[in-house]
Amino acid sequence: MKKLSFIFLFLTCFAFAQNKQLLYNYTDIPQSLLLNPGTEVNYKWHVGIPILSHIHASAGASGVTAYDLFADNGVNFNDKLRRVVYNLDRNDYFTVNQQLEILSGGFAFGNSYEPNKYLSFGLYQELDLHFYYPRDYAILALEGNQSNIGREFDLGDLNGKGELISVLHVGLTTKVNKKFTYGIRGKIYSSLLNFKSTNNRGTFVTTEGTNNFYNHTFDLDLELQTSGYASLIDLDNDGQNDWNKKAVKELRKRLLFGANLGLGLDFGFTYHPKEQWTVTGSVQDLGFIYHTKDVETYKLKGEYTFEGINPLFPNNGSGQTADEYWQEISDNFEDLFELDTISKNYISWRSPKLNGSVSYRYGKKNIKECNCTADEGDYLNEAGLQLFAIGRSRRPQFALSAFYRRQLFNFLSGKVTYAVDGFSKTNIGVGLSTHIGNVNFYIMADNLLEYQNLAKSNYASFQLGFNYIFPIKKK
Amino acid sequence: MLQKIAPILFVLLFASCVKDVDFDQAEDIAISPVVESSLIFFDFEAAQFSEPTGTEIVVEGDDLELDLFNDQFFRDNLTKVEFFFEVTNSIDRNFRADVTLFDANDQIQHAFAIDVVPDGNNEVEVTHTEVFEDALLEQLTNTKRLGFVLSMFPSPTGIPLDENSIGNIKMRSKATLFFLIDNE
């Protein structure tokens, strides 16, 4: 119970999501190429500082905050729990996303005077969890069926998936001309752990019976697919610590081409219809992982209506003996609730992401020495709108952001975003990127309005990273 | 290095600005669902009772496996159980339903009976609620087997029931389980 409540706490407190509105199209930062391989590149080469080049974590819970449940306000915890259970919708969700770039780099090539291609590559690890709120299960657990006679509990409310993967990728960004740049990135996914329970169907309902008070009707079609899980459970266990160590070691082995592999694709573009206008778009993680090794699927399937037991024999007129009758009832229940464990290959689709933006740049820098304005392209301000969408098992989730980016000093730029999404209507984020010498450092955080008390926020994210960037020399 | 920094960063970024909340409250969790389930039922016509003499007690009965309440979850979280029986009779005879709970060693844990007194061939409805709480609940959770016996007593006239006899005896029943699921 303690463990469970901790996990719940973790999920409600720090459910992480995937929108990186601060990093998107932040052309100073090489990691923006991961969101859109068609991002314009203005440097010769870059190397991410290993393990520190991109650290991202975000969490979100739509419809509920940690404060709703754990506020220290004298209200009984169970009253708060009840309120949360009833207020949330079955399409509310909890999500956690974390990424850690292990290695990354890139270099420009092509045309020797003005290289027009940029090859970027790297390896990162990603954890992604997404659960819908299993509303009918929660209500059944809270109330029982007594006050819900005639109500169909929808067992399809159970819908969640999780993955721990590593991604090896290489992308090519091509600048066609001043107006148009496009890019494409191929990815090889190695799955460390995966589970998926997204196609559940079924109902449980108690109705007024004819022969007895109630008919209890079970119609179950539930499935949990796992890969990389069975072998972890089977590890020798000499105490929890020992198991943890072995499990981490085992997972590390799977980091590169370890077990189950998949393929994915990103593509995107940047286009300037006019000099100061920018339109961008990208699709990320259009891909899948094919799970064939260490797979285990757990299945519950069956239909049965139970109206009670007719104990008097042989008078019930069915011609069955008491033993046969009993056997039939217990067989029915066993069949219904027996968890079938099968080894079955399966495909898990990654959650594809769509990004788009329209923006306007303005305000050229005055250069004192020549009393003129800076080169074309060196605008100080950029303002625009960004759209983000991610495909999830029931329906896509959207976020719309307005942003403003400004070159504050030669070495420092900043970006402010205002985002509206399923978590919040007032999400303000700030990102800063510095270039001191050739070292680039960036840090970004979200939901600043709620920052003084994150417990009240539905969503929070942060990312930071260090790169070594070798700029293109100004002529 | 990172392994050391990351948790600190995480804490700085998140935990330090979490205020006015008390996560220990989760320890107070207590939910109390009430579950109802159909139990025993039957419906017999008078003509189904084959009675050679009309002077002996006719006994019909069966044993039901009932080890559900043995389960640790039920032992830990049940606070009360009610069995509710409704018997409707229009056979002009006295009936008695005996319910006996046995443990794993076939020792009787608890027994109760429901008596049904007829009103000629008019329909008579008898209800009975057996409440299991405290010590009785303990006995229920020790139960492995439920014995159910329906006895029909002879008619005062001594005339046996035959295929032309009218009336029927019907039973419906349900169990109501009161849970208190908490952190204890």
Cβ-defined contact of B36 to A214 (cutoff 8 Å) = yes
Q: Could you tell me the sign of the dihedral formed by the alpha carbons of A25, A28, A33, A35, in that order?
A: negative
Chain A environment of B114 (Cβ under 8 Å): none
Rounded to the nearest angstrom, the minimum Cα separation between A455 and chain B is: 5
The verdict on residue B18 lying in a domain is no
Which B residues in the span 17-36 are in contact with A, Cβ-Cβ below 8 Å?
Answer: 17-23, 25-31, 33-36
Rounded to the nearest angstrom, the minimum Cα separation between A294 and chain B is: 29
| Four-way CATH pick for A2-471: 2.40.160, 2.60.40, 3.40.50, 3.30.300 | 2.40.160
Residue carrying the six token digits 């995480």: B10
Select the residue from B18, B83, B182 to test the A interface by mutation, using most A Cβ atoms within 10 A.
B18
The verdict on residue B7 lying in a domain is no
Chain B environment of A310 (Cβ under 8 Å): 40-42
Chain B environment of A140 (Cβ under 8 Å): 33
Cβ-defined contact of B2 to A206 (cutoff 8 Å) = no
Ordered DSSP codes for A118-146: EEEEEEEEEEEEEEE--HHHHHHHHH-SG
Cβ-defined contact of A213 to B172 (cutoff 8 Å) = yes
pLDDT, position A454? 66
Chain A environment of B179 (Cβ under 8 Å): 144
For chain A, say whether B8 makes contact (Cβ under 8 Å).
no
Domain of residue B57, residue span: 32-182
Cβ-defined contact of A209 to B25 (cutoff 8 Å) = no
The verdict on residue B66 lying in a domain is yes
**B171 φ, ψ (degrees, to nearest 5):** -130, 140
Select the residue from A2, A75, A140, A213 to test the B interface by mutation, using most B Cβ atoms within 10 A.
A213
| Average pLDDT of adjacent 10-residue blocks, chain A of 475 residues | 40 50 91 95 92 87 82 86 90 90 93 86 94 94 93 94 95 95 96 93 94 94 92 78 82 82 96 95 96 93 90 60 76 85 92 95 74 64 94 87 92 92 83 92 83 69 89 63
Identify whether the C-beta of residue A431 lies closer than 8 Å to the C-beta of residue A26.
yes
Cβ-defined contact of A312 to B44 (cutoff 8 Å) = yes
Domain range annotation of chain A: 2-471
Cβ-defined contact of A5 to B28 (cutoff 8 Å) = no
What average pLDDT does this structure show over B41-61? 81
Cβ-defined contact of B62 to A78 (cutoff 8 Å) = no
- What is the Cα–Cα distance from A463 to B180, expressed in whole angstroms? 44
pLDDT, position A451? 62
At CB < 8 A and 24+ separation, what contacts does A408-416 make? A410/A435, A411/A435, A411/A436, A413/A28, A415/A22, A415/A26, A415/A444
pLDDT, position A173? 96
Chain B environment of A81 (Cβ under 8 Å): 29, 31
Residue carrying the six token digits 């949360």: A84
Chain B environment of A317 (Cβ under 8 Å): 48
Chain B environment of A51 (Cβ under 8 Å): 2
Q: Which of A211, A453, A455 sits opposite B43 (nearest CB)?
A: A211
pLDDT, position A453? 65
- What is the Cα–Cα distance from A30 to A33, expressed in whole angstroms? 6
Cβ-defined contact of B64 to A326 (cutoff 8 Å) = yes
Q: What is the CATH number of the domain that holds B157?
A: 2.60.120
**Mean pLDDT over all residues of chain B?**
85
The verdict on residue B67 lying in a domain is yes
Select the residue from B1, B42, B129 to test the A interface by mutation, using most A Cβ atoms within 10 A.
B42
The ipTM is 0.85
Chain B environment of A76 (Cβ under 8 Å): 28
Task: Compute the half-sphere exposure of residue A175: CA atoms within 13 Å on the CB side of its CA.
Answer: 19
Cβ-defined contact of A81 to B22 (cutoff 8 Å) = no
Identify whether the C-beta of residue A304 lies closer than 8 Å to the C-beta of residue A269.
no
The verdict on residue B14 lying in a domain is no
Chain B environment of A322 (Cβ under 8 Å): 62
What is the interface size between A and B, counted as CB pairs within 8 Å? 157
Both tokens of A442, joined, read 């960036």
> b/e string for B117-140 if b means 16 or more Cβ within 10 A?
ebeeeeebebebebebeeebbebb
DSSP assigned state of A68: H
User: Does the pLDDT of residue B6 top 60, yes or no?
Assistant: no
Ordered DSSP codes for A257-292: T-SEEEEEEEEEEEE-SSTTEEEEEEEEEEEEEEE-
- What is the Cα–Cα distance from B20 to B105, expressed in whole angstroms? 55
For chain A, say whether B174 makes contact (Cβ under 8 Å).
yes
Residue B33, C-beta contacts closer than 8 angstroms, at least 6 positions apart: A140, A141, A142, A143, A144, B179, B181
Q: How many domains does chain B contain in total? A: 1
The verdict on residue B104 lying in a domain is yes
pLDDT, position B71? 87
Q: How many CB atoms lie within 10 A of CB A369?
A: 5
- What is the Cα–Cα distance from A37 to A28, expressed in whole angstroms? 14
Rounded to the nearest angstrom, the minimum Cα separation between A112 and chain B is: 39
Identify whether the C-beta of residue B62 lies closer than 8 Å to the C-beta of residue A315.
no
Identify whether the C-beta of residue B166 lies closer than 8 Å to the C-beta of residue B121.
yes
Q: What is the pLDDT of residues A17-41, one digit of tens each?
A: 577 889 999 998 999 999 999 999 9
Q: Give the residues across from B79 on adjacent strands.
A: none
pLDDT, position A212? 94
User: Does the pLDDT of residue B28 top 50, yes or no?
Assistant: yes
- What is the Cα–Cα distance from B177 to B184, expressed in whole angstroms? 19
Which B residues in the span 134-163 are in contact with A, Cβ-Cβ below 8 Å?
Answer: 148, 150
pTM across the whole model: 0.82
Q: Which of A76, A141, A212 sits opposite B41 (nearest CB)?
A: A212
Rounded to the nearest angstrom, the minimum Cα separation between A467 and chain B is: 15
Residue A164, C-beta contacts closer than 8 angstroms, at least 6 positions apart: A125, A126, A127, A191, A192, A193, A194, A251
Cβ-defined contact of A214 to B38 (cutoff 8 Å) = yes
The verdict on residue B84 lying in a domain is yes
Q: What is the pLDDT of residues A220-261, one digit of tens each?
A: 999 999 999 888 888 777 777 778 888 888 888 888 877 799
For chain A, say whether B85 makes contact (Cβ under 8 Å).
no
Confidence bin at B16 (pLDDT 50/70/90): very low
DSSP assigned state of B104: T
Cβ-defined contact of B10 to A316 (cutoff 8 Å) = no
Cβ-defined contact of B48 to A317 (cutoff 8 Å) = yes
Q: H-helix or E-strand containing B6?
A: helix B2-13
The verdict on residue B15 lying in a domain is no
